[in-house]
């Protein structure tokens, strides 16, 4: 297989959601600094709709995504990926299990976010993420390791605002971010949750679900405190780790 | 391998340029009509920077892209792709060769564009594409097959405007579309070429290079005649062909 001399091949396991995976691939291209096709970062993006929904498994006992996640990562490895990532914060609940099952490192977007936080933005961060991720405490523990305090949405805020904006609501005929709806109603719902985190003392807002990353610009325009996107943090870390050491 | 019951897995051979590949993946997601992750079209996108430049081969005797194109398509097939595409109009000069070398159909974006042209937009179309593609006459012959007349940029217009906008110019320190520059200068160059096609009687403008597809909105805003994008045409055809026949 032909290989770039500058970059390792990055494997992106997408589909969680689909647009988030494509958005990460786009941010990598922009961050690479390439001026020609030949200077780009080689990248494989696998948008797999067959991965059982993470939240449905965590909250409602739906099928486990583990085996399909492992199989999909293996597809990327077999195609030449030398560095892996999963642009879905919630899927990181399975990070340890997956890392044990495959032979290529999976960059951990949650730990990366906490490790690279700009201290000038303060140490109390408001974390917009899914219910499953709040309950499993991955952001809380990653923040604690780095001396940061993670302010999380309450169960009520998650249900009323965050999860409704991400998944939409069949009863209400509301299409959510997973259905590519980034309209005013959806942004408004997410902003309700964000405002409450800011009112409780967050000095920065973390977008800690890759669906929420898709409305980064809209939330940034509304927010009086800085907005930091976990997908940007992941993209920057991937560019760093993808660069081959000089011989 | 798990499979979607609704869709075949689409393989996109990207990297020609990189942003064009990602853009096609994005248009597929939007066109799918999916409201949940599970409803999306399964898709593999391979951004390969190691494919020798098509134009450099055609015009300046640079290395042939054939073997790397075949190898890359095979990577997509081995990963499960059931339908292939190459979001690079110029690469279609190799379409016949590639189709003979791999066992999965490669949707032909140039023939698709000509076959699906909306007749209400007229039958004289102005085709913005690369020098290599003009010389090999793929758009001209596809148009002739469907009773359309293809107006092509002259060699001088290609050199002065189209190719300079796509590749930039090292001498002038100008970064082109391949370096993710979509600024005014670049749009202005492409618009110079477009205006000349319109002046010669084009009743519609065809964006027939996937780098030019990246400034579709800017060109549409400037143009007095309708702008039709070959990448949109390809995306629509992929969605049609990807849908599985009901058992």
Residues of chain B positioned with their CB less than 8 A from the CB of A7: 49
- pLDDT at site B170: 87
| Alpha helix (H) residue ranges in chain A | 18-31, 54-60, 66-78, 95-101, 109-115, 131-136, 138-145, 155-157, 163-167, 184-199, 216-222, 230-242
Average pLDDT of each block of 10 consecutive residues along chain B (247 residues)? Answer: 88 96 97 93 98 92 96 98 97 97 98 97 97 96 98 97 94 91 96 98 98 97 98 98 87
**Dihedral over Cα of B153, B159, B161, B164: its sign:** positive
CB atoms < 10 A from the CB of A172, how many? 9
| CA distance linking residue B44 with residue A44, whole number of Å | 7
Chain B residues closer than 8 Å to A15 by CB: 37, 40, 42
The per-residue pLDDT for A246 is 75
Distance from B91 to chain A by nearest Cα, in Å? 13
**H-helix or E-strand containing A46?**
strand A43-47
- Run of H or E including A227: strand A227-229
In chain A (247 residues long), the average pLDDT of successive 10-residue segments reads 88 96 97 93 98 92 96 98 97 97 98 97 97 96 98 97 94 91 96 98 98 97 98 98 87
d(CA A157, CA A190): 10
Best residue in B22, B168, B169 to probe A by mutation, most A CBs within 10 Å? B22
Q: How much is the pLDDT for B247? A: 56
Name the residue among A38, A44, A180 with its Cβ closest to that of B46: A44
For residue A147, give how far its alpha carbon lies from the nearest alpha carbon of chain B (Å): 35
Strand pairing category for B204-207 and B174-175: unpaired
> What is the DSSP-derived secondary structure letter of residue A103?
S
| Residues of A belonging to the active site | 88, 209
Instruction: Report the SS3 class of residue A212.
Output: helix
CA–CA min distance A173, chain B (Å): 11
pLDDT at B3 (0 to 100): 84
Query: Model confidence over A6-58: pLDDT tens digits?
Result: 999 999 999 999 999 999 999 999 999 998 999 999 999 999 999 999 999 99
A70 vs chain B: nearest CA distance in angstroms?
11
Q: B180-189 burial by CB neighbour count: b if 16+ within 10 A, else e?
A: bbbeeebbeb
- Residue closest to A97 by CA, chosen among A129, A63, A64: A64
Closest alpha carbon to A113 in A125, A102, A101: A125
Q: Which of B31, B17, B15, B54 is nearest to B182 (CA)?
A: B17
* pLDDT score of A40: 96
- Does residue B88 belong to the interface with chain A, where contact is any CB pair within 8 Å? no
Q: Do B200 and B128 form a contact (C-beta atoms < 8 A)?
A: no
Rounded CA separation B88/B13 (Å)? 9
pLDDT attached to residue A1:
52
* pLDDT at B38 (0 to 100): 94
**Which positions of B are catalytic?**
88, 209
CB contact burial B4-28 (16+ within 10 A = b; e otherwise): bebbbbbbbbbbbbbbbbbbbbbbb
The reply to whether domains B10-108+233-242 and B111-230 share a CATH topology is yes
- pLDDT tens for B177-223 read 988 899 999 999 999 999 999 999 999 999 999 999 999 999 999 99
Domains in chain A: boundaries: 10-108+233-242, 111-230
The domain defined by A10-108+233-242 folds into Rossmann fold (3.40.50)
Residues ≥6 apart with Cβ < 8 Å to A87 = A12, A13, A14, A16, A20, A21, A23, A24, A109, A210, A231, A234
Spatial distance between the Cα atoms of A204 and A223, rounded to a whole number of angstroms: 9
Residues 51-70, chain B: which have Cβ within 8 Å of A? 51, 53, 68
Q: How does DSSP classify residue A152? A: -
Domain B111-230 has CATH 3.40.50.1860: yes
Cβ <8 Å between B45 and A49: no
Q: Would you call the peptide bond into B112 cis, given omega within 30 degrees of 0 as the criterion?
A: no
Is the bond preceding B17 in cis, omega lying within 30 degrees of 0? yes
Q: What is the pLDDT of residue A3?
A: 84
pLDDT of residue B2: 73
Residues linked to residue B106 through DSSP beta bridges, in sequence order: B84
Smallest Cβ distance to A179: which of B34, B50, B68? B34
What's the CA gap between B91 and B102, in Å, rounded? 15
Taking CA–CA distances from B74, the nearest residue in chain A reads A79
Q: What is the 3-state secondary structure (H, E, C) of chain B?
A: CCCCCCECCEEEEECCCHHHHHHHHHHHHHHHCCCCHHHCCCEEEEECCCCCCHHHHHHHCCCCCHHHHHHHHHHHHHCCCCEEECCCCHHHHHHHHHHHHCCCCECCHHHHHHHCCCHHHCCEEEEECCHHHHHHCHHHHHHHHCCCEEECCCHHHHHHHHHHHHHEECCCCEECHHHCCCCHHHHHHHHHHHHHHHHCCCCEEEECCHHHHCCHHHHHHHCCCCEEEHHHHHHHHHHHHHECCCC
Q: Which residue has the tokens 């009509």?
A: B33
Q: Alpha-carbon distance B44 to B25, whole Å?
A: 9
Q: State phi, psi for B99 to the nearest 5 degrees.
A: -65, -30
Inter-chain CB proximity A179 and B46 less than 8 Å: no
- Taking residue A141's Cβ as centre, other Cβ atoms within 10 Å add up to 13
């Amino acid at each position: 297989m032909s290989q770039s001399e500058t970059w390792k091949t990055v494997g992106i396991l997408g589909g969680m959601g689909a647009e988030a995976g494509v958005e990460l691939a786009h941010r990598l291209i922009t961050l690479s600094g390439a001026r020609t096709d030949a200077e780009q970062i080689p990248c494989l993006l696998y948008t797999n709709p067959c991965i059982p929904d993470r939240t449905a498994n965590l909250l409602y006992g739906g099928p486990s995504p583990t085996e399909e996640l492992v199989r999909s990562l293996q597809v990327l490895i077999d195609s030449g990926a030398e560095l892996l990532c999963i642009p879905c914060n919630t899927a990181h609940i399975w990070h340890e299990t997956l890392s044990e099952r495959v032979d290529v490192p999976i960059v951990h977007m949650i730990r990366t976010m906490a490790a690279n936080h700009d201290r000038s933005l303060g140490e109390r961060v408001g974390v917009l993420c899914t219910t499953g991720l709040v309950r499993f405490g991955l952001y809380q523990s990653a923040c604690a390791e780095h001396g940061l305090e993670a302010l999380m949405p309450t169960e009520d805020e998650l249900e009323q605002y965050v999860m409704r904006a991400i998944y939409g609501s069949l009863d209400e005929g509301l299409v959510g971010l997973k259905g590519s709806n980034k309209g005013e109603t959806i942004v408004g719902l997410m902003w309700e949750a964000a405002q409450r985190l800011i009112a409780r003392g967050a000095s920065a807002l973390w977008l800690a679900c890759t669906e929420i990353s898709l409305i980064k610009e809209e939330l940034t325009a509304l927010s009086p405190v800085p907005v930091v996107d976990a997908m940007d943090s992941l993209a920057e870390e991937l560019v760093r780790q993808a660069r081959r050491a000089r011989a």
